[in-house]
Structure 1
């Protein structure tokens, strides 16, 4: 998946094979990092928490013939396309329609409670970017929808047309890291008094008028941050990911690995903190001896966040902002309670 639109979207009416519509990001490196687990387990279970068009899932099923895969996606169109692509693997593949924090429900499709490996490729998918009518891209006029699951939730247009100034400014500043959030919010409120927002072109024109020219020259397209912020708010991406990363770790078997591809600092920060908490002792600072229950229960497999190679970025511009982190569970922790995790957490 990706975070920033690159190139011109194509119409949904253009029939292109699913395998040609999306290039899985950092695929060889991800397979290399997951291989020690998937090759060692007798009947490993892999969760693709952001199935998309099934590129990463297909590679796992092909390389590890004893692996079973369950894919999670909130987008019904992605489920359908990936299902067709992976049909040849029969019962080794199952799909769960839902948000990526629904790990337990997804695992139940293979009648297991833990995964050997999990992968999350965060951000908006190529499928969603390339379907003009979904409204994710600021490069062509389209309805301001931006819902990853178009059957539920508020659209971006509804947020623009109903949010109060303070709420809209907060969304733009917090999720888009937009310096001119207040100024943009004021412009939106004035403009919607004339006519409610429906299409992306009108919003892009407003942003081009509102964001100072100097910032546009140095900071990229003036709509980039606003569209990112609206998409994150519409789909509750950060709040769901904050829950999902912990659910993923809680359902990871001992010796199992979690891999996460992030595309902007906000989601990477959540990933980094969750992994660092598990890889750090939770013992009180004045305790003379570390008790077993205070010992770290994760090992950081990657040193910081790995980036795609220059060759990959040249071949696939959508990979340019990707950051990969992988962690391995090293020991069991307290059982997961019905209301949440009871595993130890780092003392801050």
Structure 2
């Protein structure tokens, strides 16, 4: 099982993130991104007999990594439903919540999932294979303007309008079903020197749209704010600017938009206190071991305790 977990996903900033949760032996904790179970196993190793851990993942493949431990509960669901499942399990408040927002290397390496442009296969990209639209549905049915917006907002692609125009023109001739068919259409739009980076942005944009990642993240962060005990920790690892901005805004201002709300005296009203004012990044040694960690940023905040 250990080898299977490591090939599924190498946990990023494992020690730094779990240290940031400030684990207490009898506490109640949530890992909203179970994946290969690396972070969850580390949390369990620090819990006592009365401690508890709930771990979320909507991907059926993650169930292969479930931990056989009475203190552990696996929730097969999107983390946007955090509040619902805490209520279902009669949990009012938790001591810390961890979210590693990176896509598992397992997904990139599975040609059938359609997350990577390195393999041919169905243009899918769904984290939850049981429901929702696929990437093929997006590129074949979305209006040109909506496609352009997705590539610009979620992929930060400067040629988003040209990209959308070409896709719409080509899909009128024949439906785009596979990664190879899609690549044959969009590759000519990118120069060879930046081709891989630009293709990665295209695939990121589609993945975010297919899985409604920004909407789900917003709902989870708001739910996490409500679910944490006073003094509880929110620990989040981000990988691209869109999600990092949302997390940073929530931790600094209490809302994902970054709107600063002040009291009568001009003091910023926020439910959180930042634990690390400066973002934590992986060490050079970790980046060398796991290149996927290069873009990772770790942010930690503590829910403020009432002033007595």
Question: Does the TM-score normalized on the shorter chain lie above 0.5?
Answer: yes
Choose from 297, 306, 316 the match for 2:290: 316
- 1:259 match: secondary structure: strand
Equivalents in 2 of 1:23, 1:289: separation in Å? 44
List, as ranges, runs of 4+ consecutive aligned residues in structure 1 with deviation greater than 4 Å: none
Greater shift in the superposed pair: 56-65 or 295-304: 295-304
Q: CA RMSD in A?
A: 2.1
Matched, 1:59 2:42: yes
2:305 maps to which residue? 331
1:170-209 correspondence runs (5 A): 170-209=149-188
Choose from 64, 85, 93 the match for 1:81: 64
Equivalents in 1 of 2:119, 2:262: separation in Å? 54
2:106 maps to which residue? 127
- 1:222 match: secondary structure: helix
- 1:194 match: secondary structure: coil
Choose from 11, 14, 27 the match for 1:44: 27
Equivalents in 2 of 1:56, 1:31: separation in Å? 7
Equivalents in 1 of 2:261, 2:283: separation in Å? 36
- 2:177 match: secondary structure: coil
- 1:17 match: secondary structure: helix
Matched, 1:28 2:4: no
CA contact (8 A) 1:94 1:109 kept: no
- 1:143 match: secondary structure: coil
1:211-226 correspondence runs (5 A): 211=190, 213=191, 216-218=192-194, 220-226=196-202
Equivalents in 1 of 2:298, 2:262: separation in Å? 29
CA contact (8 A) 2:123 2:135 kept: yes
1:298 maps to which residue? 272
Distance apart, 1:99 and its partner CA = 1.3
Gaps of 5+ in 2: none
**Normalized against structure 2, the TM-score is what?**
0.91
Matched, 1:274 2:250: yes
Distance apart, 1:222 and its partner CA = 3.2
1:228 maps to which residue? 204
Q: Deviations over 1:110-135 (max 9, x none)?
A: 53111101001113222322221000
Q: Deviations over 1:195-232 (max 9, x none)?
A: 11111112122222112x2xx42474331111000000
CA contact (8 A) 1:107 1:115 kept: no
2:54 maps to which residue? 70
CA contact (8 A) 2:113 2:122 kept: yes
